[in-house]
C-alpha cells in the first residue's frame, strides 16, 4: 500500500470532552490531509474543567488494537499520547521496537493535562524514560512535562534550552520543548537535534481555548512525517496549524476550551514564524 496519504497510527487515551486525546488526534490528522487510525490506551471522564476519572485499557487489548491496524491498514508514522501506566508503556515500546523498517515515531509525553490534572502514574515515568523515549524520532514535552522528565525547574528560555539538550542526551533523535508555559509576549518552541537547536517563535495568543494543544501539535507533526516532510518542516506546519486553531476556537465550555481543528493554514503564517539557529 502506498504511503502518500499519510497514515498515522495514534496510540493514546480518549477525551470525552472531544478537545484532546484521540478525538483531537483524529481531527488534526484528517485536517492536514492524513488518515488516522487508533489504539486506545485509556478512557477518561473529562471536560474543559478537568479530569474526573480514568479507566486504563488492558495492555493485551491495546496490543490487539495495534495488531489489527498494522496487519491490514498499516502506518507511515506512529504517535503516542496518554500512556497511563508502566504495563501500557512496555507494550507500546515492545511494538515500536519490533517495527521493521522503523517508522517515524512522535512521542507526546502526556503526564499533565492543561487543567493541571496528573494523567500518568509515578511508576510509569521510569518506564517512559528508559524504554520508550530512546525509540522516539521526536518527543514534544511542554514545560511541566520537561520538568517532570528531568526533575528540575525550567523558568526561562535559557533553562528551556538546557532542558532540550538534557532530554536529547537521554536518547531521542530530536526534542521539541514547547515554551507556552513561560511568560512573555512571544512563545518560543525549541527544536533540538544532533545538528543544533532551532528556536521557532510566534506571538502569544491570549486565549483560554488551549485544551488539547499538545495532542494537536504532536499529531500534526506526525502527519507531516507520515506525508514525507522533513522534521523541521513538519514542526513549522504543526505550529502554524495550532496557532490558527487557537485563533478560531469556538469558545466552548467553562474552562480550558477546545481548539478549532477544522481550520486551514495560511502559508504566510508558516513563513512568518521567526526562527534562529543556535549552535549545538
Q: Please indicate whether residue 214 is annotated as part of the active site.
A: yes
Q: Please indicate whether residue 215 is annotated as part of the active site.
A: yes
Among residues 17, 137, 178, 179, the one annotated as catalytic is 178
Q: Please indicate whether residue 212 is annotated as part of the active site.
A: yes
**Which strands form 196-203's sheet, in the order they lie side by side?**
35-40, 7-12, 77-80, 105-107, 138-139, 174-177, 186-193, 196-203, 274-278
Among residues 212, 216, 223, 224, the one annotated as catalytic is 212
Q: Please indicate whether residue 178 is annotated as part of the active site.
A: yes
Q: Please indicate whether residue 213 is annotated as part of the active site.
A: yes
Q: Please indicate whether residue 248 is annotated as part of the active site.
A: no
- Which residues pair with residue 36 across a beta bridge? 8
- d(Cα 27, Cα 219) in Å, to the nearest integer? 9
Look up residue 148 and give its three cell numbers: 517532570
Among residues 210, 216, 223, 257, the one annotated as catalytic is 210
**Three-state DSSP string of 198-240:** EEEEEECCCCCCCECHHHHHHHHHHHHHHCCCCHHHHHHHHHH
Among residues 41, 197, 215, 239, the one annotated as catalytic is 215
Among residues 214, 223, 224, 239, the one annotated as catalytic is 214
Q: Looking at the annotation, which residues are catalytic?
A: 178, 210, 212-215
Amino acid at each position: 500500500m502506498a504511503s502518500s496519504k499519510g497514515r498515522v497510527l495514534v496510540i493514546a487515551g480518549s477525551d470525552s470532552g472531544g478537545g484532546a486525546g484521540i478525538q483531537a488526534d483524529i481531527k488534526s490528522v484528517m485536517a492536514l490531509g492524513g488518515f488516522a487510525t487508533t489504539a486506545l490506551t485509556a478512557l477518561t471522564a473529562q471536560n474543559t474543567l478537568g479530569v474526573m476519572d480514568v479507566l486504563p485499557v488492558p495492555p493485551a487489548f491495546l496490543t490487539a488494537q495495534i495488531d489489527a491496524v498494522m496487519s491490514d491498514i498499516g502506518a507511515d508514522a506512529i504517535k503516542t499520547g496518554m500512556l497511563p501506566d508502566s504495563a501500557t508503556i512496555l507494550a507500546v515500546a515492545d511494538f515500536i521496537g519490533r517495527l521493521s523498517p522503523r517508522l517515524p515515531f512522535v512521542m507526546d509525553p502526556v503526564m499533565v493535562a492543561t487543567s493541571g490534572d496528573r494523567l500518568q502514574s509515578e511508576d510509569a515515568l521510569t518506564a517512559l524514560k528508559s524504554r520508550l523515549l530512546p525509540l522516539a524520532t521526536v518527543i514534544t514535552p511542554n514545560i511541566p512535562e520537561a520538568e517532570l522528565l528531568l526533575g528540575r525547574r525550567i523558568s526561562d528560555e535559557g533553562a528551556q534550552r538546557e532542558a532540550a539538550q538534557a532530554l536529547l542526551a537521554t536518547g531521542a533523535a530530536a526534542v521539541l520543548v514547547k515554551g507556552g508555559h513561560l511568560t512573555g509576549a512571544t512563545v518560543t518552541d525549541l527544536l533540538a537535534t544532533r545538528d543544533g537547536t532551532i528556536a521557532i517563535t510566534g506571538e502569544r495568543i491570549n486565549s483560554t481555548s488551549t485544551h488539547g494543544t499538545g495532542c494537536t501539535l504532536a499529531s500534526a507533526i506526525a502527519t507531516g512525517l507520515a506525508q514525507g516532510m522533513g522534521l523541521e518542516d513538519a514542526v513549522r506546519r504543526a505550529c502554524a496549524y495550532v496557532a490558527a486553531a487557537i485563533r478560531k476556537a469556538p469558545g466552548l465550555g467553562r474552562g480550558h476550551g477546545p481548539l478549532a481543528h477544522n481550520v486551514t493554514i495560511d502559508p504566510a503564517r508558516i513563513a512568518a514564524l521567526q526562527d534562529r539557529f543556535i549552535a549545538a
